[in-house]
Structure 1
Amino acid sequence: CPCFYSSLKDDDSGDHDQDQGTPKDSETERTEDEDQSLSKKKMVVPAAGEHPLQYNYTFWYSRRTPGRPASTQSYEQNIKQIGSFASVEQFWRFYSHMIRPGDLTGHSDFHIFKEGIKPMWEDDANKMGGKWIIRLRKGLASRCWENLILAMLGEQFMVGEEICGAVVSVRFQEDIISIWNKTASDQSTTARIRDTLRRVLNLPPNTIMEYKTHTDSIKYVWTGKACPRTLNQAVERIMRYF
């Protein structure tokens, strides 16, 4: 959809924590006022007659050139915020115009996270958590992704506020989906997420599912220079050792 790609090009989420020097007092006051105004504008609400979701969510998109070193700065430059929604109808307005994962090419990712949570390991909501990872053969990503996000938006996982978001990673030889939760140490919660994931995706009994904490992912792929910041970057780096 051309309008989808133009929205990605024009959108800048502004989530770059860079030091711009010490502003003057007047600039500080103006910035704080602007931040409050922007915060109010960003908060989406269901329109009259729409079906509200339990949480607000945000769609993100990222694309990276294979082989290029990953870093916090490059990742935040590559990821683009598509938009936020608070109702079933608002979700469908985005989703119905988005390209399906199975039709994407290259190293591309869709992320859908609760509003206010960045799809990064270091985010406060994510840093003590982890994710269930499922590798898919080509041709299955679109159906599995749709089933996963509809189950997440419909609160089918029944784990309170534990769910942070979900990611689909499109790769050349396989596709990868994952669902992120807040508390990796809560084994009963992670087990319930696993079992629900099997059910909503109708996975065969022999499907391999891997749970990985974000802390372990960071440790495993740490190079001393740059650390990958998302599931797909971790998987790519890990696969180089096989």
Structure 2
Amino acid sequence: MEFVGEKRDFDSANDNNKPNSAQPLLDSSFQPSLADDTNAKEAEEFSERIARDLKDGLHPLKHKFAFWYTRRTPGVRTQTSYEDNIKKIVDFSSVEGFWVSYCHLARPSSLPSPTDLHLFKEGIRPLWEDSANCNGGKWIIRFKKVVSGRFWEDLVLALVGDQLDFGDNICGAVLSIRFNEDILSVWNRNASDHQAVMGLRDSIKRHLKLPHGYVMEYKPHDASLRDNSSYRNTWLRG
């Protein structure tokens, strides 16, 4: 699936603006695999959802997604865990549902540090320990704050539109807003699948049109769990 049309400047958009130029191009050739009973059930559910959405005049996405966020006030000791502070904002399963949700989200440039924005497929929580994430890892890219919002938007559109290679191996993406820089990461299911990991890297570079000199780092989640300097581990230590 692709989104085609003129790209809007969402940093200058207000809540009353409606997306009027980005029209969906559905991939009518998509058919879930029928290799086993589980996939057959998923195919049936997907077909039923498409039928419902088309009946309602909506354009269904291949995957259902949810936006989440995490926020911690610097210098304030919290009594809640990192997991308890992950809040779901909204979920959606159609192109129209995405645009309604996205247009009403605060722009990254207006959010305080530190804040994490998460976009994950339905049923996957943005936690290393989630069953879909526990054997995976993430590609990490660091951006100057002045440009991070644009790259985040490009990544969100690619993810929702199922434009990245090895898309079934992708769990979600995170924008980590920090004091001196912002960090964009794409999470995948299997850190040991070298072909999928490297193919995802190349696809991210291509779709984001990363300028020469940007460094991408891959980090398995089990390494993040051992990293005492990580933001989440610092949170857990209070």
TM-score of the two chains, using structure 1 as the length reference: 0.71
1:135 partner amino acid: R
Aligned with 2:186 (options 179, 184, 189): 179
2:150 aligns to what? 143
Aligned with 1:101 (options 104, 108, 113): 108
**Pairing 1:189–2:204 present:** no
Aligned with 1:132 (options 121, 127, 139): 139
Unaligned stretches of 5+ residues in structure 1:
4-42, 223-227, 238-242
Matches within 5 A, 1:204-215: 204-215=211-222
Question: What is the CA-CA distance between 1:85 and the residue it aligns to?
Answer: 0.4
Contact residue 174 and residue 184 of structure 2 kept, 8 A: yes
Contact residue 111 and residue 165 of structure 1 kept, 8 A: yes
Q: How many residues align?
A: 188
CA distance in 1, matches of 2:110, 2:200: 28
Contact residue 157 and residue 192 of structure 1 kept, 8 A: no
CA distance in 1, matches of 2:77, 2:134: 22
CA distance in 2, matches of 1:102, 1:199: 24
1:38 aligns to what? none
2:129 partner amino acid: E
Q: Secondary structure at the match of 1:161?
A: helix
CA distance in 2, matches of 1:139, 1:82: 24
2:18 aligns to what? none
Question: What is the CA-CA distance between 1:65 and the residue it aligns to?
Answer: 2.5
CA distance in 1, matches of 2:137, 2:127: 11
CA distance in 1, matches of 2:147, 2:117: 15
Question: What is the CA-CA distance between 1:191 and the residue it aligns to?
Answer: 0.8
Unaligned stretches of 5+ residues in structure 2:
1-12, 16-48
Question: What is the CA-CA distance between 1:70 and the residue it aligns to?
Answer: 8.4
RMSD, matched Cα: 2.7
CA distance in 2, matches of 1:184, 1:153: 22
2:184 partner amino acid: I
- CA deviations 1:184-211 (Å, max 9, x no partner) are 0111111111111111111112211100
TM-score of the two chains, using structure 2 as the length reference: 0.72
2:74 aligns to what? 66
Contact residue 127 and residue 215 of structure 1 kept, 8 A: yes
1:202 aligns to what? 209
Identity %: 48
Q: Secondary structure at the match of 2:100?
A: helix
Matches within 5 A, 1:144-159: 144-159=151-166
